[in-house]
Amino acid sequence: MSLVILISGRGSNMQAILEAGVPVSAVISNRPDAAGLEIAARHGVKTAVVEHRSFADRESFDAALARQIDLHAPVAVALAGFMRILTPGFVARYAGRLVNIHPSLLPAYTGLDTHGRALAAGVKLHGCTVHFVTAELDHGPIIAQAAVPVLQGDTPDSLAARVLAQEHVVYPRALRWLLAGRLRIVDGRVRLDGATGADAALVSPDDD
Ligand code: GRF
């Protein structure tokens, strides 16, 4: 009953998942220089690199990635700062057990530069979302969200740091639910079995 985590870089979400004690059988990166690989190794977790540059197209990269993942027969696959768009075939192969964390309150701000775009729009709340992955980028059923206030004088970096601290709380929590079999997708929405109150919404005021 464990996870495979896919990363491309820093790996702070991966680290939070490992430190929360969520069972992880392997961490796979598409970049050999991803800092997260070393962190995973320090935690005694197996690592592998499937370099996207070595493949002619997305289909062959995704096929190699799936082979590497399936060696570990994971219950679920967690994207944690994995910066590749996955093919519909890959997404279908792991349907219902492929999850991602995105640094915005979806459906707002899909894609990149979410913090800069939130600041430009003048929103007062921003946050992060754990969601099931579907073929459409950053659009799958929402498992959990955490919100933070946007403060006067915030920069994209200060806002990103406030959101990231919440990512590190909400992602391990959502993955525990997934591994415990508590999540069901009903009519495109996520049901959490045994939920009490606002379990899947974490609002974290920050009085910086
Ligand atoms: C996080 O902000 C995550 O929401 C986004 O990419 C970033 C990855 O950071 N998908 P890290 O590698 O987990 O530190």
Identical fold for domains 1-94 and 100-208, yes or no, is yes
pLDDT digits (tens, 9 = 90+) for 118-156: 999 999 999 999 999 999 999 999 999 999 999 999 999
Mean pLDDT on 2-26 = 98
Q: Specify the ligand 1 atom closest to the Cα of 101.
A: 4
pLDDT value of position 196: 72
State how far the Cα of 148 lies from the Cα of 84, in Å rounded to an integer: 27
pLDDT value of position 201: 63
Going edge to edge, which strands form the sheet with 125-132?
46-49, 24-29, 3-7, 76-79, 98-102, 125-132, 142-149, 201-203
pLDDT above 90 (res 68): yes
Instruction: Give the N- to C-terminal CA distance of the chain in Å, as an integer.
Output: 39
Q: How far is the CA of 90 from the centre of ligand 1 (A)?
A: 21
Q: Spelled out in words, what is the top-level CATH class assigned to the domain 100-208? A: alpha beta
Q: Which residues pair with 127 in a beta bridge?
A: 147
Mean pLDDT on 9-38 = 98
* Domain segments of the chain as ranges: 1-94, 100-208
Residue of 8, 12, 158 best suited for mutating to test ligand 1, as the one with most atoms within 8 Å of CB: 12
Mean pLDDT on 182-193 = 96
Q: What percent of the chain has pLDDT over 90?
A: 92
State how far the Cα of 190 lies from the Cα of 17, in Å rounded to an integer: 21
pLDDT value of position 62: 98
Mean pLDDT on 6-17 = 98
Smallest CA separation from ligand 1 atom 2, residue: 103
CATH, domain 1-94, list 3.60.70.12, 3.40.640.10, 3.40.50.170, 3.90.79.10:
3.40.50.170
Eight-state DSSP code of residue 33 = T
Residue of 5, 15, 101 best suited for mutating to test ligand 1, as the one with most atoms within 8 Å of CB: 101
pLDDT above 70 (res 199): no
Ligand 1 neighbourhood includes 31 CB (under 6 angstroms): no
Mean pLDDT on 13-35 = 98
Q: Which of 101, 94, 56 is nearest to 80 (CA)?
A: 101
